[in-house]
Structure 1
Amino acid sequence: MEQQGQGKASTRAKDKYNAANYDQVKLWVKKGDRERIDAAAKAVDMSRNAFILEAIEEKIKRENAKPL
């Protein structure tokens, strides 16, 4: 039995919204680094994605580039 809001139609709607509003960037890291990133993000109560985006933003600001 599917949970409410977790059906195929819901997934399609989320995918359509994400495709229209976000770009995807694939990131390759060495074996074991994903777990390190996840642990660091969890330590500050962030998702992996939010943690990586914040790290990128900090780097951009340090390099005096245009912020995201």
Structure 2
Amino acid sequence: MRQGHSSSRRSSSAFAFPLQLLAALIGFRVRHTAFATAMAVLATGWLVQGALLSAGPVAPRHRTT
């Protein structure tokens, strides 16, 4: 994957996570629990994706046989 794609995905994750978390908190506040739960799950997905992208690529495993 090229560097430009990784940084753009990382920035979209950093932008989407707080907005969806805010939507989830507002949803819980106004007692729309199904909406709030869905937004919280999606926000968590953005958070995990951003964390994995910022961690970098996984090192290849060496086989010892």
Establish whether TM, by shorter chain, passes 0.5.
no
TMscore range, shorter length: 0.3 to 0.5
Q: Normalised by the size of structure 1, how large is the TM-score? A: 0.33
Q: Normalised by the size of structure 2, how large is the TM-score? A: 0.34
